[in-house]
Amino acid sequence: MKQLTVGDCLWPHIKRVKEEDRPHNVECNIVFAVFRESPAADFCGLVTDHDISKHPNWIFADLVGHRPLFSISPGFGVRKALSLMDQNCLEALAVLSRGQLIGVVTRQSILEALLNRERQLLKETLRLKNAAETNHEQTVVWVGRLAALNDAARSLLGVLAHTSIETELLQAGIDALCNLLGARFGAIGIVDNTGALSEFIYAGISEEQAQLIGRLPDGHGLLGVVIEENVSLRLADMSKDPRSAGFPVHHPVMRTLLAVPISHQGRVYGRIYLSDKHSGEPFTKNDEELALSFAHSLSLVIDNAREIEEVKRARQRLDYIAHFDALTELPNRTLLTDRALQFITQAQRKNESIAFLFLDLDNFKAINDTFGHAVGDELLRVVAKRISSCLREGDTPSRMGGDEFIVMLPNIGDSLDAAKVAIKILRALNEPLQVQQQLIYSRASIGISIYPDNSLSFDELLAQADSALYHAKKLGKNNYQFFTPEMNSAAQSYLMLEHHLRQALELDELVLHYQPQVRIDSGCIIGMEALVRWHNHALGLVMPDQFIGLAEETGLIVPIGAWVLRTACEQARIWQLAGMPVRVAVNLSGRQFHRFQDQRQLLDVVLDVLKETGLSPELLELEITESIMMHKLDTTLDTLNQIKQLGVRISVDDFGTGYSSLSYLKRFPLDTLKIDKSFVKDICTDANDRAIVSAISAMAGQLKLELVAEGVEDQNQLDFLGGQQCNYGQGYYFSKPVPAEQASVLLKQSVLQNQ
């Protein structure tokens, strides 16, 4: 046979991942091939389940970043591959051809290839045995078997000298031994350090028989003697030996027995037993020597494997101590530095920002002095958990020592994201902490630096965050500060806006303006869109684009939205009673819509408002966006159908800018489409916008939907829209949004002009 090469031994269990991925639910024996951008991009290295077990919290970039990339071509021999693994303490090697990864070779894949070759040899040996007709030929066959067994033992030692014992290895071993000695039954039993059976691999017994037996041998009787006394047994008739007990009741009847211990230097790891030759002959002394030779080789492998396992556990512990804080179990500065440098490299490539939060407890020394160091240590553990609970999965909290912590926030949108996390942490730590039956109030101060705004160097970023922390302490503690005044100003402005917005409803600072919706052919006002404005005593007039996003983020959009709905309906009722019935349109944001569904059904809110204000349902129009229709499709459709049954109108705002399928339009109970102003703005000069508006107009006509064009600013736009069968227009050409009093005047003028 030709020499076995690496290309013959590729491991089938390989999974391609990206370097920023994190292992989840790792299966044994999986080898991960790590690539820089995607599974088709630059190859970075290999990660095994043993690597992940040592560093369960690391991303793949961490796992491959600590060692050089070793590879081998598919034409090299397996001995060279094994030597390379031994020299560099590797469990797997990348197999590259012309610079491209074609597979992975592991010790186990080499073992399986060798065992397959050995099986072929065994089959050939049995064929020679069956063909033997003379004692001379029989002797030749036995010599061949002995050579095959020795080769198999050497192969097992060569492949497994630095790995663990696998079930497949034991199964291949007992199968090979049974075939070589012509035994009908056989088994390998491995015991643990307590003497209990931990592995039991059998041959010659079917799955059905195994299920019927139901239990493993209990280790008494003959098999117990082999392990307890570390001796071999060779019996021509088991029934005559009084010790032949311990075999399960439903085990096939055995007449002859060969049992040998798996031992090394007086330590017994298990035993091998064989029973009943196919030839009916008893086992010979040569058979016993062959079995003992195999058992001895196997004992060396097990001894090596267990010793290596102990070394691995010790190394894992040392590696953990080197990278994690023993008290809080958070990453230490070494691991933080390693991760930070990787994320900085990635951020440079992707033009991303990273925030570093330097946190220090404000009164830790006093707590230590008052309650003792044991309470202080437990407090640090609780603080670490609270900090971690405020972070995303990809963020890295770490402990520098004492009461100092560093938090790394990769891929933030802007500095406000860092401020939000800092606020969240401060609020979490402001809650009392239960530590050893002591209720402790612990505050913290935080300094923040931003990559790349403040620096490109990790060390400088930490120093800057430390300076910002010092500034936070000087300003009274229990607060956060950015390294630059500009960042502090932006964050403080955000907080001030949130503070004032939370009081806006209580202080009656919100007001509605109304913008007319006009029939294009007659100029008659047919509707008013209610638009919220905020008059704050300190900030002045605040436009919706400055505070609606904040309201959605904080959840304030729910009470604000309820106020807008009620106020608009009250005003519409006033117009109705004054003989100027006109529908009023109220916008529902996505967060507002689904918050209503989660906390109180939107249908109930609308019913209550209509009942309390006395407004006719047909005079209320709710404006939703395409994104609302796409979210929780079935629930949204059911809610809108119930609202529609009340007589309330439903329109789609900013149509054409979303991402919903046009096929959904026929499923939803819609009355109106509103063409977004971005399409109307350039319809007189941009052929594409004209084509889009024409297409929407034609579609609305086919679906029998009213059409409102937003952002109408001049007569030319109005003329084009009128020619496209667009029903209504809205925009500064008719009127800007005005307070209710001015809107009433516009309504009266419209009524008089169209009488």
Question: What's the average pLDDT block by block, 10 residues per block, for the chain (755 residues)?
Answer: 83 89 81 79 84 85 84 88 87 88 89 84 78 64 65 48 60 81 87 77 80 65 77 84 65 84 85 89 89 83 74 70 84 91 92 95 83 87 93 92 93 90 92 82 91 92 89 86 75 78 90 95 93 91 86 84 94 95 90 56 87 95 82 78 92 73 76 90 89 89 90 91 89 94 93 79
6-106: CATH class: alpha beta
The predicted structure's pLDDT at residue 660? 52
The predicted structure's pLDDT at residue 211? 77
List all residues 6 or more positions away from 209 whose beta carbon is below 8 Å from its beta carbon. Answer: 250, 252
Q: How far apart are CA 519 and CA 439, in angstroms?
A: 68
Q: How far apart are CA 66 and CA 58, in angstroms?
A: 12
The residues that bridge with 131 in the sheet, in sequence order, are none
Question: What are the distances in angstroms from CA 346 to CA 342, 410, 711?
Answer: 6, 10, 43
CATH of domain 333-486: 3.30.70.270
- Please count the other Cβ atoms lying within 10 Å of the Cβ belonging to residue 477: 14
Whether the CB-CB separation of 493 and 717 falls below 8 Å is answered with no
Q: How far apart are CA 139 and CA 451, in angstroms?
A: 78
Tokens of 584: 């009023």
- Residue range(s) in the chain whose domain bears CATH number 3.20.20.450: 554-736
Q: For residue range 332-388, what is the model confidence (pLDDT) as tens digits?
A: 998 999 999 999 999 999 999 999 999 999 888 888 877 888 888 998 999 999 999
The predicted structure's pLDDT at residue 219? 59
List all residues 6 or more positions away from 463 whose beta carbon is below 8 Å from its beta carbon. Answer: none
Task: Kindly give the pairing relationship between strand 540-542 and strand 525-536.
Answer: antiparallel
CA nearest 448: which of 353, 354, 358? 358
164-309: CATH class: alpha beta
171-181 in b/e burial notation, b at 16+ Cβ within 10 A? ebbbbbbbbbb
Q: How far apart are CA 505 and CA 92, in angstroms?
A: 65
- Residue range(s) in the chain whose domain bears CATH number 3.10.580.10: 6-106
554-736: CATH class: alpha beta
The C-alpha R_g of the chain, in whole angstroms, comes to 39
The predicted structure's pLDDT at residue 175? 83
